[in-house]
Structure formats: C-alpha cells, structure tokens
Structure 1
Amino acid sequence: MISSTLVNALGLLLIGAQHVRAASTVNIASSVKADTEFTVTVNTEGLDKWGGSERWSKFNVYLTLRLPDTAKTEAQVCILANSTNLGSLSGTKSAKVKIPADAAPDGARVMASVIIYESDPYGNLTSGTRTSDRATFQGGNAKWAEFENQGRALWIPDYIPCTSYACARECGVKHWDDIKEVKDISAYENTYGCMTSCSGTTLEPWSDFVATYYGGTVNDTDSASTTSAASASATASTTTSVSQTGTSASASSSTSTDTGAADKLLAGNFSLVVAVMLAGLAMF
C-alpha cells in the first residue's frame, strides 16, 4: 500500500501554505558543476520559536529545475539528500550534494529546495518548501524531454533520487504518446511502470497505486517492482557531510525566496497528480 506520505503530500499541494511557518533560508552558489559536490546551506535559527529540536529533526534537499516552457515553470524533480539529521537548531546547517550531469542540460537554471520536518516531509510537522535562488548548471549533458518543454514534472520527487532522474525522464519520453492528452488514469500506467524499474526509485507497483486510490484490486502477479527506501538513499546523491556554524549563511551565496509547498510542487505536475490529489484529500 502507498504510505500516508504520498497522501499528505498530495493534500499539501492544496493547503501547503498553512505549513509555511518556519523562517528558514536556503543558499547555494551562483553556479554549480555537474557531478561536483557543492554546499546547500540552511538557516534554521527561526525554527526555535516553532518548537526547536523537539519538533524538527531532519531535512531533505530536492533538485528544482526551471523548465524551458514559455511560463518558465519551476518544478522539483528529484531528491538530492534524504533524511539528513538536523541535530541542534543553532545557527545554520549545510549539506554536501551533487547534481548528476544527466539530470539537466548545460546552462540550465537549477535550485535547491529544502523541507525541514519531524518524521515525514509531508506530514503535519513540516516547515513547507524553501527554495534557493537560481544557479547556472555547468557541464550538464541531458536534453529536455517534451513533457519538460511543456512545463510538466513526472512525480512527487521523494520517490526519484537524482541519480535515477535520467531514467525516469526517458520513461516520460518513451510513453509521451500515452500521456500528452490524458483521458483517464490508465494513460499513466506504462509511464509509471517504467519508472518503477529505474534503479533507486521507490514508487509502488501500479496495481497497488490503483487499489489505494481508485478502489481497484491488487494483482498479486503484478510484475512491477520497487526498491527499498534504503536503496534510494544509497543511490541518490545524498549528503556526504553535515556541518553547523553559529552564524547565518555567507552573503556571497545566492539567497532564497521562501515559498509554500503548493507553489513548487503543484507547478508542472501531470494531471494525474491533480486527480490523485482529489482522491487523497478526503484521506488527509
């Protein structure tokens, strides 16, 4: 069965602004190189008044891309660092991450988005999404897919480590004819099934998804499979170290614009997400 994480995530798409309470700022350099470690700095000082370390324990870092559509949609596409421990909440935290060369084209505009939370990034105790300013991606070798050209994103990024995003993108390319004009939920089955086969992804089998949200029957012979969350953490570009300082982030880094989860997660997602959102909201 799909965990409550996805249900809460989809509900948060509509009411995410209610979760944007903590004042945190995300900073990255003005340019980042492919397959090269860089620092994401998160100012956590403002979290103390919202419960401090008793409430906040971890943070995730996501890759947000500015897509090439005419609206310049910004969408979270994959996870860079999963379940990084915060420790105490004094000063700032910094995580080391890498963006794979095949995650975006050379010259793409990239951002780091952060969610700070207790145990579930889309549960009740979450800071909402905070996103850095845009940086220029150097050394990328990907090509935009047609769904990206149209301002669409594939899925909730927690299920796709950035080391798997190129594979997931190819699924969107391969099955574009199925999903470019969606008439019902079945249009996504091939794309979804393809993504479950990408190493490191943690999507459930399609039959489980349908059974959870649309009252279908789980087919025990369903061949779609997923890897464990531990596998995703191992294969994703997760943090190699976490450091803490007693001062705010350096002024030389790009500063962030704080926005609600709805602003970032809703933008560009396939109409499937909207459909699931309505089904999941009743369970939220």
Structure 2
Amino acid sequence: MRSFKTIALLLTSCAHLSTTFREISIPSIVNANQTVQLTVTNDLSSGPGSYDGQFTTFRIYLAIVAPTSSNIPNTVQPSCYLVNGTSITTSIVNLTIPTTVGPDGMSYHIGTLEYSTHPTPPPPSSYSYTSIFTLYNTTSSWSSADLNGDYPPFPDLLPCTSYDCARQCLSSSFPQDINGTEAAFKGTYECMAACPGVTYPSWEEVQKEGAGPGETLAGDGNEGGQTVEVAYASLLRSVSAMPTVTANGTRNATMTVTPTALATGKGEGAVVRVGRGWWVAALSGLVALVR
C-alpha cells in the first residue's frame, strides 16, 4: 500500500551512473542552532576533465533517519534542505541546523546535490553524503509516523526549519493519512503545505496535474499518493524560480525547483518498486529548471 514513505523515496530511488563530490565532511559532533562548517572537496582543479565543473551550483540537505525506518535496508536520503543553492566553487559552507529537526543525541547525515543553472544543463549529480554525525541540543521527539518509517515527502520543497511542522502533520492523523483514501491524504498534505516556507503545490494544482480522483495504481490503494507523485513530476518540468544570491555567494532558502537526484550506487539509496513505470520516464526526462 502506497505511503508517504514510498512517495518520499520515489523520486530519490533507482541507480544512477554519475559520480559526486570527492568528499564532503562535517565534524562528528554538531550542536543545533550553532554554526558548523561543511567542507566540500571537488575536482575543479582537474581542468576540462572535471566532473564537478559541468555544474554551477549545489544544494545542501539534512538526512534524518528514525531508528525503526531500518525496515528499508541502507536507506539514507535527504529529508529537507538546509541551503537551497551555493556556487560550485565553494569549499567551505557555514551551516546552522534547527533545534526542531529531531531528538537530541541522534545520528544524522548531510547530503549534497550538484546541478547546473545553464539553459541546457546536464542531468544533476547523484547525492553525496557525509559520514554520520551526532546532533545535540535538539528539542523534538520521534513522532508515531517517524517510528513507522513514514516522513514528509519532497525534500526539495521543504526547508529544515519547517520539518518538524510537517512531521507533526503526518503524526496528527497517523495512520489514517498513511493508509487511507484520498480524502485522508488530502488533509495531511494540506497541513504540510501550510507549514512556513514549504512550497508544495496546492492540492487543487495537484489534482489538476496529477491523477483524477479515485484513480489508483493497481494494488496500491492510495489515490492521494498517486495524485501527488504525478503532479510533482509534472510540476518539476514546468516551474522555475529566481533565487536570491547573497554577498558570499550562498543563495537563500527560497525554493528553486530542480530535479531530485537519483541515489548513488554506494548502498545509500533505496529502490522502491511501484505498480507503474511512469516515473522512470519522468525522471529520465527531467532537466534543471533553475534560471
């Protein structure tokens, strides 16, 4: 049965043959709401043969994995974005992780995605992840949805400052919103979309772009899940936004739509089996829409 967990993984799954940054690293101990440095090692010095040189920008995510989500083996994927876009030439990025992202003393990862803002861009890179770090001084608890392995979808549309708000939306009507009909799904989706800074399309837009009411994938049983997936792929192909660049070259956290990367072959991504192959074609055809 289709769930928010499946939807969240759907656009971050399947093997991808590209590579990533040589390394990204962060201290093993991090305190929430305090500045910490992310160090990025790229291959720009390689000249014309540089892999990273084909991109202009990279996005930075936080990967949050609740203890019981281990029912999906080796699953690490972005949960929300910390920095919307930073110049590809940047090697040190100052990050501040909100106190509300999860419980104190738990393990997290930072993830990056390289992409190009050129009019005819190459496909985005795979995700690259830091080693596990321990995050302290956080104030949230795992929700019932977290502990079931379900979490808000679409990290490219969800700033980490609002992750806890979206988490609570999922938990407030769990499990009806996870395993229910489109009506149950709709309420949870609209709750998450109303969280500050979240740029999910409206439910009406989702209905317009996605599957019709009552149309399901065979055997999935969640009309809302199908609707949102189709709409998300469609909107990624048709929406662009103009980010604001700050003096230090770091773009603000206003969402800029770009394809969600596919997981690397390093055991850090999960492959999700679905009833139809529409998303394979949609993903292969997506291009970076940032201007």
TM-score, normalised with respect to structure 2: 0.67
- After superposition, give the CA deviation of every residue in 1:81-136 in whole Å (9 maximum; x if it has no partner): 1111124xxxx61211111111111011011000111139xx85222100001111
1:210 is the counterpart of 2:214: no
Q: Hey, what does 1:146 align to over in structure 2?
A: 144
- After superposition, give the CA deviation of every residue in 1:48-99 in whole Å (9 maximum; x if it has no partner): 525553x210001100123110627534211001111124xxxx61211111
Are the aligned partners of 2:26 and 2:133 in contact in 1 as well (CA < 8 Å)? yes
Are the aligned partners of 2:13 and 2:270 in contact in 1 as well (CA < 8 Å)? yes
How much has 1:229 moved relative to structure 2? 8.9
Counterpart-to-counterpart distance in 2, 1:266 and 1:213: 24
Are the aligned partners of 2:61 and 2:110 in contact in 1 as well (CA < 8 Å)? yes
Q: Hey, what does 1:172 align to over in structure 2?
A: 170
Report the 3-state secondary structure (helix = DSSP H, G, I; strand = E; otherwise coil) of the residue aligned with 1:126: coil
How much has 1:161 moved relative to structure 2? 0.3
Q: Hey, what does 1:29 align to over in structure 2?
A: 27
What is the alpha-carbon root mean square deviation over aligned residues?
3.6
Are the aligned partners of 2:20 and 2:127 in contact in 1 as well (CA < 8 Å)? no
Counterpart-to-counterpart distance in 2, 1:76 and 1:63: 6
Report the 3-state secondary structure (helix = DSSP H, G, I; strand = E; otherwise coil) of the residue aligned with 2:282: coil
Give the 3 Å change call, closer, same or farther, for CA 161–261 of structure 1 in structure 2: farther
Are the aligned partners of 2:61 and 2:80 in contact in 1 as well (CA < 8 Å)? yes
More helix per residue: 1 or 2?
1
More strand per residue: 1 or 2?
1
Counterpart-to-counterpart distance in 2, 1:28 and 1:188: 37
Report the 3-state secondary structure (helix = DSSP H, G, I; strand = E; otherwise coil) of the residue aligned with 1:97: strand
Q: Hey, what does 1:117 align to over in structure 2?
A: 115
How much has 1:264 moved relative to structure 2? 5.1
Counterpart-to-counterpart distance in 1, 2:56 and 2:139: 36
Are the aligned partners of 1:129 and 1:261 in contact in 2 as well (CA < 8 Å)? no
Give the 3 Å change call, closer, same or farther, for CA 200–179 of structure 1 in structure 2: same
Structure 2 unaligned residues grouped into runs of 5+: 1-8, 214-238, 251-262, 284-291
* Higher RCO (C-alpha under 8 Å, 6+ residues apart): 1
Give the 3 Å change call, closer, same or farther, for CA 209–266 of structure 1 in structure 2: farther
Q: Hey, what does 2:6 align to over in structure 1?
A: none
Q: Hey, what does 1:86 align to over in structure 2?
A: 88
Matches within 5 A, 1:19-98: 20-45=18-43, 49-50=49-50, 52-53=52-53, 55-69=54-68, 71=70, 73-87=75-89, 93-98=91-96
Are the aligned partners of 1:13 and 1:261 in contact in 2 as well (CA < 8 Å)? no
Amino acid of the structure 2 residue aligned with 1:13? S
Amino acid of the structure 1 residue aligned with 2:131? D
What percentage of residue pairs aligned between the two structures are identical? 23
How many pairs were matched up? 232
